[in-house]
Amino acid sequence: MAGPMALGIMAIQAFNLVDIFFIGLLGTDALAAISFTFPVTFVVISLAMGLGAGLSACMGQALGAGNHQQAALFTSHSLLLTLGLICLLSVLGTLTIDPLFRLLGATEALLLLLHDYMWIWYMTVPLLVLPMVANSAIRATGDTRTPSLVMIVAGLVNGILDPLLIFGLGPFPELGIKGAAIASACSWLMACSVGLWLLWRRERLLVWPLQQTRRMFAHWRQLLHVALPACFTNLLNPLSTAVLMMILAGLGTEVVAAYGAASRIEAMLLIGIMALGSVLAPFISQNTGAGLHQRSRSALLQSMRFALLFQLALFGLLWLSAPWLAQRFTDNEEVSAHLTFYLRLVPLGYGLQGCFMLLASALNGLRVSSISLGLNSLRLFGILLPLAWLGNLWRGEQGVFIGILVANILAGIIAGLFAWWRFPWKIKRPM
């Protein structure tokens, strides 16, 4: 199940890279403008991921219990709530484009570009969020191949339309940064149409959502019980990264550049774990719904074992290739030295970091994402940032990197002990 998901995640990352590449060709102002949109888009995507996690967990338990009608009703109610929330966010966002981005520090020249891009983005963002949540429902049935294929095709559509609409190639008008927003909207429309059609025709998981209104509110409460902590968990990572960047900024531009490059490499190295975690949640929700609690526990422990062995093998490859990789990212000798040190040290803890990520996904599958939120808060603000700060006082940038490694090791040990002694935490039956 995780294999197709890994391809889908890579397609999403390629989607973002293609957008940045073509927008960058428009000039520095356009690239700066699109950079200002990242905090806003990340909040929306975090909301979508949280709603998807809630739907996947609750619906998966209903399917595991053999109650397909209940699963269809829950899916329909969840998509209705998703549509309502994202439309409200879309309207509020459209009305606050100028004041929000002024607050973030955008100049008047950039505000013109931001208004052109974000007005279209806000108006069409429901087409992004709905397929993300719908794909979570499809994955909860055990099918990860189809959602991944949809993501890949959407990325291809975006990649084809970007240059046509941005630069006005052939019969297409030259729309500049507006063209990038329209290209994204077209790819989202395709993904949304396919995702909803699959839920309706193939999976039979869409029904008229306004039937049984009393149960609809109960389903919304169940969804938000999982979704809200999952959303906040997603938002914790960029917040802690911002604090970490403040620590590194005091050590010089070269250190910040090295960490930025290392973060991009790290995102690629953790794709396998991210894919495994995304399918572990629905797997566990279905099995706990069927009463197969030992199978759920075994799946988590075996996934953790795989994460340790897989990431250890990657660490061996990184140790050998770190100088070569560093030279690919920069020609500055000082940045290259910092990056090489990072790549030969911090990835040693990626396996244990992966164990923590897998536990968080498993807890979402059990519909106890508030525990996941608490553990992630402890990892980031109780372990990672204090150790990075102490490492900075001890040995500068090397101490910070050592602190990150130690934090990942400690978090992984906590996750392993929790999985061994306390998983499954408790089981919530679908209503």
Q: What are phi and psi of 331, to 5 degrees?
A: -110, 5
pLDDT on residue 427 = 47
pLDDT on residue 426 = 53
pLDDT on residue 407 = 95
With 0.85 as the threshold, say if the pTM is over it.
Answer: no
Tens-digit pLDDT string for the chain (431 aa): 788 878 877 777 777 767 777 887 888 788 778 777 877 887 888 888 888 888 888 888 888 888 888 888 888 988 999 999 999 999 999 999 999 888 877 788 888 988 999 999 999 999 989 998 998 888 888 888 888 888 888 888 988 999 999 999 888 888 988 999 999 999 999 999 999 999 888 888 888 767 677 788 888 888 888 888 888 888 887 778 778 878 887 888 788 878 877 877 887 888 889 889 888 988 898 888 888 888 889 999 999 999 999 999 999 998 999 999 888 777 788 888 998 999 999 999 999 999 999 999 899 888 888 888 999 999 999 999 999 999 999 989 999 999 999 999 999 999 999 988 877 655 444 44
Kindly list the domain boundaries of the chain, sorted by start residue.
2-211, 229-422
pLDDT on residue 425 = 55
